[in-house]
Amino acid sequence: MATQAGKFQCASCGAGMEWDPAAARLVCPACKSGLEVHPLGSLDEIPFAEFAGQQRRLSETALEVRCGGCGAVTQFEPGQVAGKCPFCAAAIVMQPKAADPLIAPHGVLPFAVTSDRAAGAVKAWLGGLWFAPNDLKAVAQQEGLQGVYIPYWTYDAETYSEYSGRRGKWFVDQRGQRQLAWTECSGSVVCAFDDVLAPASKAVQPARLDALEPWRLDAVKPYEAAYLAGFKAQRYQVELKDGFSHAASKMRVAIEGMAVRDIGGDQQQVTGVRTRYAGLTFKHVLLPVWIGAYRYRGQVFQVVANAQSGTVSGERPVSAAKVALAVLLALILLCAWLYLRD
Ligand SMILES: [Zn+2]
Ligand SMILES: [Zn+2]
């Protein structure tokens, strides 16, 4: 398979072939001929310092268009139309232009969930919405799902952290009362991180994307434009350095967990952590999602589905009456709990 993108013409009938998530290969929509994709490149980690010099086009033919509604830049191959913005459902009226050079992805996780399966998962998710106003389901079904590759950074690093903290131990005093004695402590922990993900999209909230995890990143393939045939891809909106801040905050959670285990005792407090990073490398990868955006009472709501696992995460309109009821119920439970505890 040549990396020359855009025209994945069917050898039998000349129609444009598209990636088929169920068959895991290119399939001709006209005559159903199939074609395996064999990536040429390899999926190497890139040292942080070699960030410059990575500017390449997604493909020689890729077009891109900016949504006037939400500002997201979507890329696609000729033959597809920009149509509706996958992120905010606004109609795209701007003229597409040739994609500007950018860091072309190193890896891509091909779609594995078909649009039908994703629609079923989203329908089940909407059906389970406890807070949703009753008329939401009808509204939500009016918009279809679009398959989009979302840009991510992944980071590898070895960390060396020095922490300070306190160790708590229970003891029984002279009056027979259980007491917690704290002693100051410090130490160091070493961690190795592999493929810590940071979304490089601002068109979908980070929390919503985090809710799509876990991804099985061992299935990521070296980038090949053929995987994008029939789908859109979003240009990254978060710079490599800013993505690292997100990844570093995830690493910090793991490092503090290690420090807590290192402290030992009955209870632990971590008061400070200083971390040095070694062997910091990154990859730019595209991960597949199905996105539905719908309008409800003038507001836009998103539902996204992980197109590898089928996991759904979405935004829900909230009915004021149902929220009031839920808050009341929570208060009753809290009071009951406080009452039983005494
Ligand atoms: Zn064909
Ligand atoms: Zn938009």
Nearest to 217 by CA among 235, 231, 198, 203: 198
C-alpha 7/C-alpha 4 separation (Å) is 8
Distance 88 CA to ligand 2 centre (A): 4
Q: Which residue has the higher pLDDT, 50 or 305?
A: 305
Alpha carbon of 76 to ligand 1 centroid (Å): 21
- The first and second tokens of residue 200, run together, are 């490089």
| pLDDT at residue 164 is higher than 90 | yes
Q: How high does pLDDT run on average in the chain?
A: 84
In whole angstroms, what is the distance from residue 283 CA to residue 286 CA? 10
| Centroid of ligand 1 to alpha carbon of 12 (angstroms) | 5
Q: If you measure from the C-alpha of residue 228 to the centroid of ligand 1, how many angstroms do you get, rounded to a whole number?
A: 18
| Per-residue model confidence (pLDDT) at position 185 | 96
Contacts of 218 (CB under 8 A, 6+ apart): none
pLDDT in tens, 88-136: 877 777 777 777 766 778 899 999 999 999 988 887 887 766 555 555 5
Share of the chain above pLDDT 90, in %: 46
Do 41 and 222 meet the contact criterion of CB atoms below 8 Å apart?
Answer: yes
| Residue partners of 3: CB distance under 8 A and separation at least 6 | 40, 59, 224, 225
The sign of the CA dihedral 117, 150, 249, 247 is: positive
